[in-house]
Amino acid sequence: MSTQPEVIRESDVSLHIRRVVSYIVLIFLACLCLFPFLFLIVYTTRSHVEIQQGFSLLPSKYFGYNFKNVMDYVQFPLYKGMINSAIVSFSATLLCVYFSAFTAYGVHVYDFKIKRGVYTFILMVMMVPTQVSALGFLDMVYAWNLDDTFWPLIIPSIAAPAIMFFMKQYMEASLPIEIVEAARIDGCNELRIFNTIITPILQPAFAVQAIFTFVGNWNNYFMPQLILTDKNKQTLPVLIALVRNASPSDDDQGKAYMYMALAILPVVIVYLFLSKFIIRGVTLGAVKG
Amino acid sequence: MATLRRRTVSYSKWGYFFIAPFFIVYALASFYPLASTFYFSFFKKLVKFGQDMGPTTFVGLQNFIDIFTPNPNGVIEVGKYAGNTFIIWIIGFIPQIIVSLLLASWFTDLRLRLKATGFFKVVIYLPNVIMAAAISFLFSSLFADTGPINQIMAAAQGADNFQIQIATGEVGFRFFASIPAARIIIAGINFLMWFGNTTIMLMAAIHGIDPTLYEASAIDGANATQIFWRITMPLIRPILLFVLVTSLIGGLQMFDIPNVLFQNGSGGVNATSRTLIMFLNQQMQGTRNYGRGGALSIVLFIIGGGLSMMVFYLMRDKDVAEERKRRKKSKGAKLL
C-alpha cells in the first residue's frame, strides 16, 4: 500500500513529459504543413526584384500588381484554366457520384445471375492504376478526334470502382430493401424509385464522395496533360506545369507565386469550410479492420 | 402464383439496367484501352501529330526485350527508373508511417487528453487536398539555387554577392544538383501530403479497438509503450496493411511531383529522380512510341499486381489464419 502513491506520482510526471513532447511534435508538424502556404501568401505580395533581393516574411505592396500580371498572362490564361477546371471537375463529379450510386444500387437491390461476379470484379479492378491503360486510351481519344475536348476527362468518371464500392458499403448500412418494396407496391417504377426515393436517402454519401471526387479532378494532372494541348482548353494543373517550365526565361517570380496561389485557392476555401466533414469522410471508403 | 413469379423475374432484370452504364463506360474507357495497350506492345508503331511515322510492323516480344536491354551506357532504363521510384517512395514512407503511428496513438490516448486535436487534424490533412503540381512548383521555387532557402543560408554564411556565390557553390547548397537532396525533397513533399491522411486512417483503426482492452491493461499497470506494442499494433495490422498496399500502389504511380519539380520533367541530375510513370509519359509525348509505351504499361501492370499480392502474402495475419484452421478442425471433430 505504501508504494501506491509513489507509483501514481511517477506516472503523473511521465504523463506530463509525454504531453509536452507530443505538443512540441504536433506544433512542429503543424508549422511544417502551414509554412509553405504562409510563405506562398506573403510572396504573392512581393515584386520580382524584392524576391530576388532576399528572404523575408514581411508582406509587401505588390499584391494588386502581381494579380493584374497573372490576369494579363495571355500565354497561360489562368481564368480560362479555372473555367476549364471547373467545367471538367463539376461534370465529372456529378456523373461520378450519380452513376456510382446507380451501379451500387443495381448490385445491392437486385438478385441477378452475375451479381456476385460483378461485385468481385469491381473490387478487383479498384486497385489497378489508371496509367497502365493510358496509351490505349490516348490512342482512342485521338482516333475519335476527342483531343482538346473535355469528354475524355468527364465520361470515364461514370465508371469509378472505388466510389461504387463506397456507395455499396453505405447502402448496406443505411438502405433497407423494405423502402424499395413499399415504393413498388405504390406503383413506382424502378428508375423513378431510384431517382426520387433512394437518392435523397443517399445524400450524405453523395456529399462526402462529391468533395473527394471534385478535389481529385481539380488536381488531376496526368491525363489532362496528355489530352489537352490547346492553351484555351487546358486545366489548371497543366497550366501550372507550363508556367513552371517557362519560369526561368519568362522571369517574374511574383507573378508565378500569385499563379500558384490562385490555382489552389478554390480548394483551400472549400477545405476551410468543410474540413471537419472532409476529415470524417477520409476513412469511409477504406477497408474495415 | 404465375404473375408473382413473372414479376420477380422482371425485377431482377432491372439489375442489368442499373449496372449497364458503369460497364459500358468501363469497357470503353478502361478495358478496351488496356487490351489495345497489350496489343500495341507487340508492334513497332510510331505516331506523330496523329500521323503514323513509317509502317506498323509486328515485332513479337522485341519491345519487351528492348526495354530490358542495357542502353549504350550500360543502363537498363526501366530498372533505373523503377529503382528511383522505389527509393523516393521508401524515403517518404518510412517517416510517414512512423509519424502517423505516433500521432494516431497520441490523438487516441485517453490518459494524454490532448487539446485542440481537431485543429491539428485539419492542419495536417490540408496538404493532401492541395494540387500536387502547385506544391511541387512551390518547392521548386523554395529550394531553387537563388530561392529563399539558399538566400537564408547565404545570409547566415555572410555572403556579400550571394547570387554568384551560390552558383559557384561557395555558399548555400544547390539542392537540385544533388541527387540525394532532390530525392529527399520529392519524398518530403510526398510525406507532407500523405502523413495526415495516414494518421486519420490509423486513428479510425485505433478507435475501432474495444476500449475495455485499454482499461484492463491500464488496471494491470501497463505503460503507454507496452499498450502501444501489445494491444494497439497487433489489432490495427489490417489497416496498416491497407495503408502499406495503397501507399505502394500510389508510389508506383508517382508522377505529378517529380514531373513538375524539374524543368520540362527532366528528372534531375542524370534523370536520377525520373519515375516509371514519367518514363511512360515520355513515350506518349511528341513522337508517340506505341511499342515501347505498350511494353512499359504491361510491365507496370505486372509490377502493380505483383506488389500488392506480395505484400498481402507477407503480412497476412498468421494468428487469424491459424485460428481459422483450428476452428475448422474443431468443427470437423464435433461432426465426427
CA dist B105 and A173 (Å) reads 28
CB atoms within 10 A of CB B62: 17
What would the grid cell of residue A142 be? 485521338
Q: Are B13 and A112 in contact (CB under 8 A)?
A: yes
Cβ–Cβ below 8 Å for B124 and A29: yes
Q: Are A110 and B14 in contact (CB under 8 A)?
A: yes
**CB-based contacts of B307-314 (< 8 A; 24+ apart in sequence):** B307/B248, B307/B249, B307/B252, B308/A127, B308/B245, B308/B248, B308/B249, B311/B241, B311/B244, B311/B245, B311/B248, B312/B241, B312/B245
Q: Are A42 and A256 in contact (CB under 8 A)?
A: no
CA dist A253 and B147 (Å) reads 10
Q: Give the H or E element holding residue B288.
A: strand B288-289
Express each pLDDT in B59-91 by its tens digit.
999 999 999 999 898 899 999 999 999 999 999
Residue with cell 510563405: A39
- Among A225, A123, A125, smallest CA distance to A168 is for A123
User: Is B86 within the bounds of a domain?
Assistant: yes
Q: Distance between alpha carbon B163 and the CA centroid of its chain, in Å?
A: 37
Helices (H), chain A: 4-43, 48-53, 63-71, 78-109, 115-125, 134-143, 151-154, 161-174, 177-185, 190-192, 199-201, 203-219, 222-227, 236-246, 253-282
Sequence-ordered strand ranges (E) for B14-148: 43-44, 46-48, 51-52, 57-58
User: Is B15 within the bounds of a domain?
Assistant: no
* Adjacent-strand bridge partners of B43: B58
With contacts defined as CB-CB under 8 Å, which chain A residues touch B223? 11, 14
Q: Does the pLDDT value for residue A33 go beyond 80? A: yes
CB atoms within 10 A of CB A188: 16
**Domain with B133 in it: what CATH number?**
1.10.3720.10
Cβ–Cβ below 8 Å for B50 and A142: yes
Mean pLDDT of B230-236: 92
Q: Are B182 and B176 in contact (CB under 8 A)?
A: yes
User: Is B34 within the bounds of a domain?
Assistant: no
Q: Does the pLDDT value for residue B7 go beyond 80? A: no
Provide the mean pLDDT of chain A: 89
With contacts defined as CB-CB under 8 Å, which chain B residues touch A250? none
Assign B43 to helix, strand or coil. Answer: strand
- Among A220, A281, A20, A15, smallest CA distance to B121 is for A281
User: Is B25 within the bounds of a domain?
Assistant: no
User: Is B62 within the bounds of a domain?
Assistant: no
What would the grid cell of residue B224 be? 503507454
Which of B19, B118, B304 is opposite residue A103, by nearest beta carbon? Answer: B19
- The confidence band for B283, taking pLDDT boundaries of 50, 70 and 90, is very high
Cβ–Cβ below 8 Å for B301 and A128: yes
Q: Which domain holds residue B141?
A: 82-289
**Shortest CA distance from A228: residue in chain B:** B285
Residue length, chain A?
Answer: 289
User: Is B150 within the bounds of a domain?
Assistant: yes
With contacts defined as CB-CB under 8 Å, which chain A residues touch B26? 125, 159
When mean pLDDT is compared across A62-76, B11-25, B156-170, the lowest value belongs to: B156-170
**Percent of chain B topping pLDDT 70:** 88
B277 vs A251, residue with greater confidence: B277
ipTM of the complex in this document = 0.91
User: Total domain count for chain B?
Assistant: 1
Looking at the complex, report in whole angstroms how far the Cα of residue B331 sits from the nearest Cα belonging to chain A: 26
Q: Are B112 and B106 in contact (CB under 8 A)?
A: yes
Looking at residue A1, what is its pLDDT?
44
Q: Does the pLDDT value for residue B150 go beyond 60? A: yes
User: Is B246 within the bounds of a domain?
Assistant: yes
Written as one letter, the residue type at A242 is L
Which of B141, B192, B201 is opposite residue A286, by nearest beta carbon? Answer: B201
Whole-angstrom CA distances from B210 to B207, B215, B231 are: 8, 9, 10
When mean pLDDT is compared across A122-131, A182-191, B120-129, the lowest value belongs to: A122-131
Q: Does the pLDDT value for residue A289 go beyond 50? A: no
User: Is B300 within the bounds of a domain?
Assistant: no
Q: Are B85 and B273 in contact (CB under 8 A)?
A: no
